[in-house]
Structure 1
Amino acid sequence: MTVPFFRSPWQVPANATGLGAAFAEILESGQYILGQHVRSFEQALSARLETPVVALNSGTDALVLALRLLNLEPGDEVVLPSYTFFACFEAVVRTGAVPVLCDSQAHDFVCGEPEVIACITPRTRAVMAVPLFGDASAIPAIAQSCRAMGVPLIEDAAQALGAQVHVEGQGLLQAGTLGDLGTLSFYPTKTLGAPGDAGALTSRHAHFVDRAMSLRNHGLHAGCHSEVGYNSRMDEFQAAALAQGLSQLDTWLSQRKSIAGRYLAGMGRLPGIALPHHHDGHAWNYFVLRCAQRDRLRAMLAQEGVQTRIYYSDPIHRQPAYLKCFPEVHLPHAEAHAQQALALPIFPGMTDGEVGRVIEAVVLAAGRP
């Protein structure tokens, strides 16, 4: 049996059939960009998150717009993790700001509040926190410290839609709503994935939402171009698919949680393997373990027909694009994670047999001399 790393829900015939009808209606309407499907999706996601939503064409553009809304100037510093997707760094550099990279926790992939606070200086104008792989548990403490210090927080929840955390005095809150601005990605592998590129920005601040609505469409406001903006509009096809997927998101999240639970139970206490930090509100976008002999484990799993991926092969501060522009830094935990992290298959529609096969293959590989 071959177990793929990912299989899109849109490959399921029943889901594809529903999309076909919606796409046919869109084609006939002639309205392909920022139409009723986009507005309906924004309203539905806003209702779920209890926060206004601006639909965009990618999660990367959401980061760029979030930083633009903060009116950063050249030389302003933005604190962000080094162990995360490269788009976070790209977005900061594109604004002219200076990225200040912080290390991960020693035994977890995310940057915690102490790591973030240690990087804040008088020049810090924003913090970008990332609930990596679907784990938002570290974000509330970061948000509290940012508020106390008067530093705006961008929560890059690209991998965490559906994650929940308990915030004292506020109850259970959704990832993507924990900062001054939130960004979401609907890349196909995400918890809510489109059959293409799409993203969104969230904020409880009306002035951010209004300006983002303008910036995504070339700065257009009341019939005039009030400032230089972007072409970051979501198309109707992605919006229709995302609206359909949103209606199934709770089912998909439940399936991810069930798979993760089986992995945690079936792979516990294996020699040389550290399983991911877990809690009830984890969205399980990815299931990423740590193994000192990661490459060997990956090769063994491939022999058993189990596809895996590496998130991330190098932290941002080790990427050539970073080293061309900024001085070399040493972040030991991020560097260690990059050498040890291995993502296993986890996706809605994964069969019991596929889950069992992954567990069997990992246990077998861990027991080999």
Structure 2
Amino acid sequence: MLPPIQLLDLAAEHAAYQAELDAAWRDTVQQAAFIQGPAVGAFAAELGAHLGGAHVVPCANGTDALTLALLSLALPPGTEVIVPAFTYVATLEAAALLGLEPVLVDVLPDTFNVDPAAVRAALTPRTGAVVAVHLFGQCADLEQLTIICQAAGVALIEDNAQALGATFTFASGSTAYAGTVGEVGTTSFFPSKNLGCLGDGGALFTRDAARATLLQQLANHGQSQKYHHQCIGLNSRLDTLQAALLRVKLRHLPAAQAARQAVAARYDAALSTVPGLQIPARDPRSSHVFHQYTITVEGGGRRDALRAHLQAHSIPSAIYYPLPVHAQPAYAYLGYQVGDFPVAERLCQQVLSLPVHPGLNGEQVAYIIDQVIASLF
């Protein structure tokens, strides 16, 4: 009998190394250093080494990471921050909460990542930063975005919540991890992420030691030592328990990433010739760690019909994202209209994410493939 298919099966993933998680939990409880305990610094060092020597500053969650990244730039209120129109709302939220002005630009129809040409066209004398979201597990065009930002004298921030461990190869032949190219990279350790904790968590990355020190201050009430506050900051710390658990999961991340890529390869081989369905495009310069395996389905209503068919056959799926950010009521004040970002709007009507996680077995993947094909042929 086919085991139930989950969109994300954390219980199955954790079962393979549950003893390690239990030991980390027990050690943390016994040490009783629940805030800024030794596991936090150890995790930061280990993740930094995993990312090629980047400075890692843990924080409370991914939205805080974006907020802290922008806060570290000391941008005046009203400064424009360019963000993609096809993203999770937190990308805009962080800028808006700081009194900055989100400026939306459209995305590329194949990779779903921000369009560098649209970024260049949106630059004004008021632009202070560009936030590149590495969507679904693949890097945005870091080559062009770096060139554009350096020429304009604006900061490049990388929202790397979905692409931790992905790499980008530049024309020079050099390779860098996602999140380590711009002034600051950010990530989330929300449980559903490829490296997820058992609660909330986040981190910032930078190759600038001075900025890392500033980010550490900002994440801890703006203080470098207790009761001495150099700047206005946040209370945004990664709990020791979460850091201890993340240390365990980081050791298993390469194997989990390879398992995701293997599932994606099977989907690719089987679905690449299905009429009206586009498998995820690959930028040859970027690896893809498949936080999501997101197809597009053309034709009015066919995406929703496919999703209903899958649900009827006990296969979960998800739509990331059903409504573009400029159509969200909270951001109506920005003045954008339906039709301003046609690619993002079209994607919201066409994208569908299939299950892709390390716990899927071959029989489950084959069943998913068969049902997708049965619905669309």
Contact 1:52 1:202 in 2 (8 A): yes
Amino acid across the alignment from 1:219: G
Aligned residue number for residue 314 of structure 2: 305
Q: Distance in 1 between matches of 2:12 and 2:275?
A: 37
Q: CA RMSD in A?
A: 1.4
Q: Is the counterpart of residue 327 in structure 1 residue 331 in structure 2?
A: no
SS in 2 for 1:118: helix
Amino acid across the alignment from 1:69: S
State which drifts further: 349-358 or 64-73. Answer: 349-358
Aligned residue number for residue 339 of structure 1: 349
Aligned residue number for residue 7 of structure 1: 9
- Over residues 145-165 of structure 1, what are the superposed CA-to-partner deviations in whole Å (9 max), with x where a residue is unaligned? 211221110000110001111
SS in 2 for 1:247: helix
Q: Distance in 2 between matches of 1:14 and 1:83?
A: 35
Aligned residue number for residue 304 of structure 2: 295
Aligned residue number for residue 365 of structure 1: 375
SS in 1 for 2:213: helix
Q: Distance in 2 between matches of 1:171 and 1:253?
A: 22
- Over residues 305-337 of structure 1, what are the superposed CA-to-partner deviations in whole Å (9 max), with x where a residue is unaligned? 1100110011110111111x2212311110000
Residues 85-234 of structure 1 mapped to structure 2, 5 A cutoff: 85-169=88-172, 171-223=174-226, 224-234=228-238
Q: Distance in 2 between matches of 1:163 and 1:30?
A: 35
SS in 2 for 1:12: helix
- Over residues 244-289 of structure 1, what are the superposed CA-to-partner deviations in whole Å (9 max), with x where a residue is unaligned? 1111111111111111100000111111111111246111110001
* Aligned with 2:289 (options 264, 276, 283): 283
Structure 2 residues not aligned, in runs of 5+: none
% identical aligned pairs: 37
SS in 1 for 2:122: coil
Contact 1:112 1:142 in 2 (8 A): no
Amino acid across the alignment from 1:158: A
Contact 1:9 1:15 in 2 (8 A): no
Q: Distance in 2 between matches of 1:71 and 1:130?
A: 21
Call closer, same or farther: CA 1:59–1:10 in 2, change over 3 Å: farther
Runs of 4+ in 1 over 6 A off after TM superposition: none
Call closer, same or farther: CA 1:92–1:10 in 2, change over 3 Å: farther
* Aligned with 2:66 (options 60, 63, 68): 63
Contact 1:162 1:191 in 2 (8 A): no
TM-score, length of structure 1 as denominator length: 0.96
Q: Distance in 2 between matches of 1:354 and 1:10?
A: 14
Aligned residue number for residue 256 of structure 1: 260
TM-score, length of structure 2 as denominator length: 0.94
Aligned residue number for residue 47 of structure 1: 49
- Over residues 168-200 of structure 1, what are the superposed CA-to-partner deviations in whole Å (9 max), with x where a residue is unaligned? 336221111121110011111111111111110
Contact 2:13 2:358 in 1 (8 A): no
SS in 2 for 1:211: helix
Q: Distance in 1 between matches of 2:143 and 2:18?
A: 38
Q: Distance in 1 between matches of 2:88 and 2:334?
A: 18
Equivalenced residues, count:
366
Shift of 1:139: 2.2
Shift of 1:15: 2.2
Amino acid across the alignment from 1:349: G
Q: Is the counterpart of residue 81 in structure 1 residue 84 in structure 2?
A: yes
Aligned residue number for residue 29 of structure 1: 31
Structure 1 residues not aligned, in runs of 5+: none
Contact 1:166 1:173 in 2 (8 A): yes
Aligned residue number for residue 237 of structure 1: 241
- Over residues 48-71 of structure 1, what are the superposed CA-to-partner deviations in whole Å (9 max), with x where a residue is unaligned? 112100011111100000000011
Contact 2:114 2:140 in 1 (8 A): no
Call closer, same or farther: CA 1:10–1:176 in 2, change over 3 Å: farther
